[in-house]
Amino acid sequence: MRFKSRFDAKAGFADLWDYIREPRPYRWPFLALSLAIPLTGLAMLTKESHFRPPDAPKVTYISTFAEGRTDEEIRQSNIANQQRKEAREAELAELEARRIEAYKALGRATGLDVEAMEREAAIERAREEAEAEARRRELYPAGTAVDDSGE
Protein backbone atom coordinates (compact mmCIF):
# COMPACT_ATOMS: atom_id res chain seq x y z
CA MET A 1 0.00 0.00 0.00
CA ARG A 2 1.40 3.33 -0.98
CA PHE A 3 1.74 6.30 1.35
CA LYS A 4 0.09 8.70 -1.08
CA SER A 5 -3.07 6.64 -1.44
CA ARG A 6 -3.63 6.38 2.31
CA PHE A 7 -3.24 10.05 3.16
CA ASP A 8 -4.83 12.44 0.73
CA ALA A 9 -4.31 16.05 1.80
CA LYS A 10 -6.60 17.34 -0.94
CA ALA A 11 -9.60 15.47 0.48
CA GLY A 12 -8.75 16.63 3.99
CA PHE A 13 -8.68 20.29 3.00
CA ALA A 14 -11.96 19.84 1.08
CA ASP A 15 -13.61 18.40 4.21
CA LEU A 16 -12.25 21.30 6.32
CA TRP A 17 -13.57 23.83 3.80
CA ASP A 18 -17.02 22.22 3.80
CA TYR A 19 -17.08 22.24 7.60
CA ILE A 20 -16.09 25.92 7.77
CA ARG A 21 -18.72 26.93 5.15
CA GLU A 22 -21.59 25.36 7.10
CA PRO A 23 -23.72 28.07 8.73
CA ARG A 24 -23.09 27.61 12.46
CA PRO A 25 -23.56 30.21 15.17
CA TYR A 26 -20.31 31.66 16.51
CA ARG A 27 -18.20 29.83 13.95
CA TRP A 28 -15.97 32.82 13.21
CA PRO A 29 -15.23 33.67 16.89
CA PHE A 30 -14.48 29.99 17.61
CA LEU A 31 -12.23 29.80 14.55
CA ALA A 32 -10.43 32.97 15.64
CA LEU A 33 -10.02 31.63 19.19
CA SER A 34 -8.81 28.23 17.98
CA LEU A 35 -6.18 29.97 15.85
CA ALA A 36 -5.23 32.53 18.50
CA ILE A 37 -4.36 30.01 21.22
CA PRO A 38 -1.62 28.09 19.34
CA LEU A 39 -0.37 31.25 17.63
CA THR A 40 0.01 32.94 21.04
CA GLY A 41 1.90 29.92 22.34
CA LEU A 42 4.18 29.91 19.32
CA ALA A 43 4.78 33.64 19.65
CA MET A 44 5.76 33.22 23.26
CA LEU A 45 8.11 30.34 22.48
CA THR A 46 9.80 32.01 19.53
CA LYS A 47 10.76 35.21 21.30
CA GLU A 48 14.51 35.56 21.28
CA SER A 49 16.34 36.89 24.24
CA HIS A 50 19.94 37.91 24.07
CA PHE A 51 21.56 38.22 27.44
CA ARG A 52 24.80 40.10 27.66
CA PRO A 53 27.44 38.08 29.45
CA PRO A 54 28.37 39.53 32.83
CA ASP A 55 31.39 41.75 33.09
CA ALA A 56 34.54 40.08 34.29
CA PRO A 57 35.11 40.80 37.98
CA LYS A 58 37.69 43.38 38.86
CA VAL A 59 40.05 41.74 41.33
CA THR A 60 42.05 43.84 43.75
CA TYR A 61 44.84 41.97 45.44
CA ILE A 62 45.64 43.07 48.96
CA SER A 63 48.95 42.00 50.32
CA THR A 64 49.98 42.56 53.91
CA PHE A 65 53.52 41.55 53.13
CA ALA A 66 56.14 43.90 51.79
CA GLU A 67 57.26 43.34 48.22
CA GLY A 68 60.63 41.68 47.84
CA ARG A 69 60.97 40.17 51.31
CA THR A 70 64.09 38.12 51.87
CA ASP A 71 64.05 34.50 52.99
CA GLU A 72 65.34 35.54 56.42
CA GLU A 73 62.50 38.05 56.86
CA ILE A 74 59.99 35.35 55.91
CA ARG A 75 61.60 32.93 58.36
CA GLN A 76 61.49 35.51 61.20
CA SER A 77 57.84 36.26 60.41
CA ASN A 78 57.00 32.55 60.54
CA ILE A 79 58.78 32.17 63.90
CA ALA A 80 56.88 35.15 65.36
CA ASN A 81 53.57 33.72 64.09
CA GLN A 82 54.38 30.33 65.60
CA GLN A 83 55.16 31.93 68.97
CA ARG A 84 51.83 33.81 68.90
CA LYS A 85 50.03 30.58 68.03
CA GLU A 86 51.68 28.68 70.89
CA ALA A 87 50.87 31.48 73.35
CA ARG A 88 47.24 31.45 72.22
CA GLU A 89 47.04 27.65 72.57
CA ALA A 90 48.59 27.81 76.06
CA GLU A 91 46.05 30.46 77.08
CA LEU A 92 43.19 28.31 75.77
CA ALA A 93 44.54 25.26 77.61
CA GLU A 94 44.70 27.28 80.85
CA LEU A 95 41.12 28.50 80.37
CA GLU A 96 40.00 24.90 79.74
CA ALA A 97 41.74 23.72 82.93
CA ARG A 98 40.08 26.53 84.93
CA ARG A 99 36.71 25.60 83.49
CA ILE A 100 37.19 21.95 84.43
CA GLU A 101 38.19 22.92 87.98
CA ALA A 102 35.11 25.15 88.28
CA TYR A 103 32.87 22.27 87.21
CA LYS A 104 34.60 19.94 89.68
CA ALA A 105 34.04 22.45 92.47
CA LEU A 106 30.38 22.73 91.50
CA GLY A 107 30.08 18.94 91.43
CA ARG A 108 31.67 18.61 94.89
CA ALA A 109 29.36 21.31 96.25
CA THR A 110 26.30 19.45 94.97
CA GLY A 111 27.45 16.12 96.37
CA LEU A 112 28.58 14.37 93.18
CA ASP A 113 31.49 11.90 93.09
CA VAL A 114 33.76 14.00 90.85
CA GLU A 115 36.69 11.59 90.92
CA ALA A 116 34.57 8.67 89.69
CA MET A 117 33.15 10.85 86.91
CA GLU A 118 36.68 11.92 85.97
CA ARG A 119 37.82 8.27 85.81
CA GLU A 120 34.86 7.38 83.59
CA ALA A 121 35.60 10.34 81.33
CA ALA A 122 39.27 9.30 81.08
CA ILE A 123 38.25 5.77 80.15
CA GLU A 124 35.83 7.13 77.53
CA ARG A 125 38.52 9.45 76.09
CA ALA A 126 41.00 6.56 75.91
CA ARG A 127 38.41 4.39 74.14
CA GLU A 128 37.64 7.16 71.61
CA GLU A 129 41.34 7.76 70.98
CA ALA A 130 41.88 4.01 70.43
CA GLU A 131 38.99 3.92 67.95
CA ALA A 132 40.35 6.96 66.14
CA GLU A 133 43.81 5.38 66.00
CA ALA A 134 42.34 2.12 64.66
CA ARG A 135 40.42 4.07 62.01
CA ARG A 136 43.58 5.98 61.09
CA ARG A 137 45.58 2.76 60.77
CA GLU A 138 42.83 1.24 58.64
CA LEU A 139 42.64 4.25 56.32
CA TYR A 140 46.36 4.94 56.19
CA PRO A 141 48.44 1.77 56.17
CA ALA A 142 51.99 1.80 57.52
CA GLY A 143 54.42 3.79 55.42
CA THR A 144 52.06 6.59 54.36
CA ALA A 145 52.53 10.10 55.67
CA VAL A 146 49.71 11.41 57.84
CA ASP A 147 49.32 14.86 59.39
CA ASP A 148 48.46 14.25 63.08
CA SER A 149 47.92 17.94 63.84
CA GLY A 150 44.12 17.42 63.82
CA GLU A 151 43.50 20.05 61.17
What pTM was estimated for this model as a whole? 0.42
User: What pLDDT shows up at residue 151?
Assistant: 46
Alpha-carbon span 31 to 25, nearest angstrom? 11
| pLDDT < 50: residue spans in the chain | 1, 150-151
69 CB contacts (<8 Å, ≥6 apart)? 77
Q: What is the pLDDT of residues 33-61, one digit of tens each?
A: 999 999 999 998 888 777 889 899 998 88
pLDDT in tens, 1-14: 455 566 778 888 89
Do 42 and 35 form a contact (C-beta atoms < 8 A)? Answer: no
The alpha-helical segments, DSSP class H, found in the chain are 3-6, 9-21, 27-45, 71-109, 114-139
What pLDDT, on a 0 to 100 scale, did the predictor assign at position 144?
Answer: 65
Contact partners, residue 129, CB within 8 Å, separation at least 6: none
What is the rounded CA–CA span in Å between residue 134 and residue 128? 10
